[in-house]
Amino acid sequence: MTIPMLPLDPGLYIVATPIGNLGDLSPRAADILARADIVAVEDSRVTAGLLRHVGVKRPMIPYHDHNAEGVRPGLIARMGAEAVALVSDAGTPLISDPGYKLVRDARAAGHAVVTIPGPCAAVAALTLAGLPTDRFLFLGFLPPKEKARADAIAEVAAVRATLVLYESGPRLAACLAALATGLGDREAAVTREITKKFEEAVTGTLSTLAARYAEAPPRGEIVVVVAPPGEAPPASAEDGDAALAEALTRLPAAKAAGEVAKRLGLDRKALYARALVLKGA
């Protein structure tokens, strides 16, 4: 005789799913997916495969960046009487995926919010990179356009933490080169296909990695891990001029001076005066 599964309490269940190897799905996550009244998914085709692995069929509703505003009120209303599981295509929901507004609104409506932790590509990459893990900053995806990407990198150049970010294969080399320009030639690691058959972690400086992947853009899911800034010697006037010359190709004098001052620890007013000279040269 088959013993029926007990229903879950109503509320929102945030369920981490495998980033590659289906064996990484935890027994608790499988149990929650089997008993949820409905599963909110990024892509029903991806989650349908996961549910087949678990051996169950559950109602699914798409929930992603393009429809979240319209779908969220209905999901919140259902949480009063039903168990709603939230999954992403891979890894932990809300980590570079939609979901935080659903959690916020569920709490505001008085519904229970339960997390079922598990795989996360960013954390897994940190364990493979061999770089400091006591303090790290997750950046998600950097902007694809050159200026916006350079601005985003400049914002974190002085942060004394390991940086973790996601990137696609076709944009990887340009991203690594921009990181080398904006951060200096730090140690880094490129990890891809984590938990899958062709998992790899390639280490080196940002410039050497950029050159490697310019010749052969990789496939698969990619995480870049960059070492924190080292105890570098004080920047020289020549260092300031070189950094200013590059920054002035992207920014007006005042912003270029501010960016370089923050990155190299030099006097902003002196850099601004020097930037005006360079622009007039």
- Domain chopping of the chain, boundaries: 11-119, 122-226, 237-280
Domains 11-119 and 122-226 share a fold: no
Residues 6+ apart with CB under 8 A from 164: 122, 125, 126, 136, 137, 138, 139, 223, 224, 225, 226
3-state secondary structure at position 125? helix
What pLDDT score does 262 carry? Answer: 82
Inter-helix orientation angle 237-247/268-280, to 10°? 60
Res. 121: pLDDT tops 60: yes
Domain 11-119 has CATH 3.40.1010.10: yes
Q: What is the pTM of this model?
A: 0.79
What would the DSSP string read from start to end of 227-263? PPP--PPPPPHHHHHHHHHHHTTTS-HHHHHHHHHHH
What distance in Å separates the CA atoms of residue 128 and residue 219, rounded to the nearest whole number? Answer: 18
pLDDT at 23 over 90: yes
The answer to whether the CB of 30 falls within 8 A of the CB of 54 is: yes
pLDDT in tens, 162-199: 999 999 999 999 999 999 999 999 999 999 999 999 99
* Contact (Cβ atoms closer than 8 angstroms) between residue 94 and residue 115: no
pLDDT at 280: 77
Q: What is the mean pLDDT of the chain?
A: 92
Q: What is the pLDDT of residue 279?
A: 81
- pLDDT at 1 exceeding the cut of 60: no
pLDDT in tens, 61-93: 999 989 999 999 999 999 999 999 999 999 999
Three-point CA angle 198, 28, 35, nearest 5°: 115
Residue 222: helix, strand or coil by DSSP?
Answer: strand
Tabulate helix, strand, coil % of the chain (nearest 5): 45, 20, 40
CA distance 230 to 65: 38
Q: Tell which CATH classification among 3.40.50.1820, 3.30.950.10, 1.10.10.10, 3.30.230.70 matches the domain 122-226.
A: 3.30.950.10
